Structure 1
Amino acid sequence: MKILIIHQHFRLPSQGGAIRSYYLARALVEHGIDVEVITAHAGKKQEHQNVDGISIHYLPVDYENSFGFRKRSQAFISFAWRAAALAARLPGIDLCYAISVPLTTGLSAMWLKATERLNYLFEVGDLWPDAPIELGFVENGVFKAALLKLESITYSKAAGIVALSDPIRKAVQRKSPGSQVYVIPNMADTEYFGTSADGTAFRTRHGVAGKFVVSYIGAVGFANGLDHYIECARAASQAKLNVHFFICGDGALLPQHQANVKRLDLQNLTFLPFSDRAGVKELMDASDAIFVSYKPYRILETGSPNKYFDGLAAGKLIVVNFEGWIREEIEGERCGIYVDRQRPDAFVSVITPFLNDRALLKQYQIASRDLALRKYSRIQLGAQFADVIKRTVNACQNAGRSFRSPKH
């Protein structure tokens, strides 16, 4: 069996960033399935490499989080058509697994289904285009209608949908009632994070030995709402709490946030550059709590942010500033706390019990690690994903639907 994964933002652990699609590809390889990946890079020409049993094809389509909406859209469309053209030349593919965001990977998958009779599963990590519409990035009515139509058709033509959270599953089922929807959330790599954890060297190097360390790791964009995270640092500073904050990541709003921290003269917040997985682990090991932040939009509450799962795997207190399923989960599991954006003193009041009672902090951290092992283990969810792939291939074959035209 050979599976094609189309993901414009596929990344390896050595590159840093979200590596869910790498975990998925690894899981398939570990279950005896051949994997071809089509992705993009900033190079000038198409390249190919084999990593950990995964055959990776890199298309020369540049993309950065700092791109404006028009330039992003151009990159998405360019990748979709180039990926479809390359995929049509790859022999022996049994199923395509197309990953959004962007939604335009659905164009690649639908083109392959129409021209090559190659069925596909479609992964929905964020409700797109709902998110850019609700956040105000898409205002033209005709364009909105076109994107919503593309979403609907992509869902309806797929052999199945993989949603990263239960709220996303419910949204997809409302939009496409006849679709088969599986929930496979992001994965907690419990074999990597939370093992051999010793943050002493990091704490000494950054002058935070003896402090309570809170870290934000990830994208620094509009949706992440790090203005509130900075306000939490400001409130902690004014209350003279023994807490130090880190921001590790990159994005369009990074210069703005750096300027704001400098203007406020916050000595308790440090920016760290975007890092690979080893650098993220080092920061995780040195942290007491991981902060997961979003702007207060309902659409963002449905997501499955990968650093939430890394924080669980590392056994850290989870702090969130948004409503939704993650808040409900961490409060129910007693492994995290919610900070109310509407109350300037909220962070101080909710974090103080953990500063005063290290046993309480340890209790919450153990609960985090337990939740990761019990519900989100990479091994467990990888096996679940491989099973979905195999069952989809077998179901399509049993239904007499050819995966490839006779020329292949």
Structure 2
Amino acid sequence: MHILYIHQYFRKPEQGGALRSYYLGKALVNAGHTVVLLTAHNGLKYYQENVDGIEVHYLPVAYDNHFNFIKRIWSFLSFTIRSIKLAFRLKNIQLCYATSTPLTIGLVALALKKFKNIPFYFEVRDLWPAAPIQLGYIRNIWAQRWLYAFEHYLYRQAEKVIGLSPGIVARIEPYKPASAIYLLPNMADCDYYNPGSPTRNSFNDLFYICYIGALGRANRVAFLLEIAHACQQHGLKQVKFIIVGTGAEATTLQNIAANLNLENITWAGPLNREQVREYLALAHATYTSFDTHPILETNSPNKFFDSLAAGKLTIVNTKGWLQQLVETHKCGFYANPEKPREFVEQLTSYLEHPPLLLQAQQNARMLAEEQFSRQKISRKFVQLFPLEPLNPILE
């Protein structure tokens, strides 16, 4: 089948970041499909390259985590318009696979369906518009209603809808038959990440907690700084925090850390994939951080699954399915972000009992291998695509 894959934030392994689309696109190619992918880059010119069998078209549409909301919307709309123009020139497309965010990606898929009779699958990585509405970015009631109506219309028009978490799937269910909804979480790359952490034999041995991800409003990494402060106040000098990433809140967070006189924080900045692996190898635990808005409990953050693959004590500050995963499989714990002292109490058990820590780390790796390995997720993904096209080539 000739598949058009649309993802504004496509990344290659050497770039790091979220590699879901790279691995899923490659799995389609390996299964015998032809994959053409539209994405964006921060350069000034359009260009095209072959990425391990995927024909990738790069549109010159700038985007950065430091952009304010208006700049982000402009970037989304620019990419949508350019993608529609390019998609309409492509030949032999039989199916479109559109992955959000942003929700505007769906406009490209809808245009192809309405004007060229090309069916589409729609992948929901984050729930839009619920997320920006709950975060306070979209306050106009009429804009909210229109966006919700558009979201639901996309679900109904898609042949299949893929959600990355049980919470996302639950939000899709009222608008789509269950037979057309699929749960396909992010993946744990158990080949790339080797399990293992520096050995701890006593309470006072160094203990590293790593945060890897965006430093944005939705992540609210200030929670982690409050935890670092609580550890410092309770004399846990052996506990060190490493923050990897960048974003709009980076300067604010560093100012908070300075005001709290935190001596247990290392700011690593943005790193490539290999560097991230090196930092994870040094860590004993990871911390997944989100703000307290209920919609963020549905997230499927790729760094959470990297933590599982690397065999780390996996700490989450959000309820929902991530909490259920770490508690059910005993590979980490939920830490109430508004009660940093409770975090200290929970962590102390692992500091005092190295075998307990080791068991949790082993459980994390086991969970990655059994439920979220890249190979298993890729196989399930490829099975969504029939051997025969949904419609004949019309060109």
Q: TM bucket by the smaller chain?
A: over 0.9
The answer as to 2:234 corresponding to 1:239 is yes
Paired letter, 1:233:
A
2:214 aligned residue = 219
Deviation at 1:262, TM superposition (A): 1.6
Q: How does 1:46-61 map to 2 (within 5 A)?
A: 46-61=46-61
Paired letter, 1:48:
Q
Paired letter, 1:240:
G
In 2, Cα distance between the equivalents of 1:385 and 1:375? 14
In 2, Cα distance between the equivalents of 1:55 and 1:105? 19
Deviations 1:145-192 (A, max 9, x none): 121121111111111101001111111012445771111000000010
Deviation at 1:210, TM superposition (A): 4.6
Paired letter, 2:283:
S
Q: Which residue, 251, 256, 261 being the options, matches 2:252?
A: 256
How many residues align? The count is 390
1:17 aligned residue = 17
2:378 aligned residue = 382
Deviates more, 1:236-245 or 1:87-96: 87-96
Provide the aligned C-alpha RMSD in A.
Answer: 1.6
What's the TM-score, normalizing by structure 1?
0.92
2:127 aligned residue = 127
Paired letter, 1:232:
I
In 2, Cα distance between the equivalents of 1:12 and 1:290? 24
- Unaligned runs of at least 5 residues, structure 2: none
In 1, Cα distance between the equivalents of 2:167 and 2:130? 13
In 1, Cα distance between the equivalents of 2:293 and 2:335? 15
The answer as to 2:346 corresponding to 1:355 is no
CA pair 2-286 structure 1, distance change in 2 beyond 3 A: same
SS in 2 for 1:37: strand
Paired letter, 2:217:
F
Deviation at 1:267, TM superposition (A): 1.0
2:82 aligned residue = 82
Deviates more, 1:182-191 or 1:84-93: 84-93
In 1, Cα distance between the equivalents of 2:291 and 2:303? 16
The answer as to 2:293 corresponding to 1:297 is yes
1:35 aligned residue = 35
In 2, Cα distance between the equivalents of 1:178 and 1:81? 32
What's the TM-score, normalizing by structure 2?
0.95
2:267 aligned residue = 271
Q: How does 1:318-357 map to 2 (within 5 A)?
A: 318-357=314-353
SS in 1 for 2:340: coil
Paired letter, 1:121:
Y
Equivalent pair of 2:188/2:308 in contact (CA under 8 Å): yes
Equivalent pair of 2:197/2:283 in contact (CA under 8 Å): no
Equivalent pair of 2:287/2:314 in contact (CA under 8 Å): yes
1:183 aligned residue = 183
Deviation at 1:71, TM superposition (A): 1.2
In 2, Cα distance between the equivalents of 1:118 and 1:275? 39
1:5 aligned residue = 5
The answer as to 2:282 corresponding to 1:286 is yes
Deviations 1:342-385 (A, max 9, x none): 32311110101111111110000000000000000100110110
SS in 2 for 1:390: coil
In 1, Cα distance between the equivalents of 2:74 and 2:176? 27
Paired letter, 2:64:
E
Deviation at 1:237, TM superposition (A): 0.9
Paired letter, 1:211:
L
Deviations 1:35-78 (A, max 9, x none): 11100001111011111111110001001111111111111111
Equivalent pair of 2:197/2:284 in contact (CA under 8 Å): no
- Unaligned runs of at least 5 residues, structure 1: 201-208, 397-401
Paired letter, 1:96:
C
In 1, Cα distance between the equivalents of 2:26 and 2:356? 37
The answer as to 2:322 corresponding to 1:317 is no
In 2, Cα distance between the equivalents of 1:218 and 1:178? 33
In 2, Cα distance between the equivalents of 1:253 and 1:116? 43
Identical aligned pairs, as a percentage? 42
2:192 aligned residue = 192
Paired letter, 1:255:
T
In 1, Cα distance between the equivalents of 2:27 and 2:253? 38
2:107 aligned residue = 107
CA pair 122-315 structure 1, distance change in 2 beyond 3 A: same
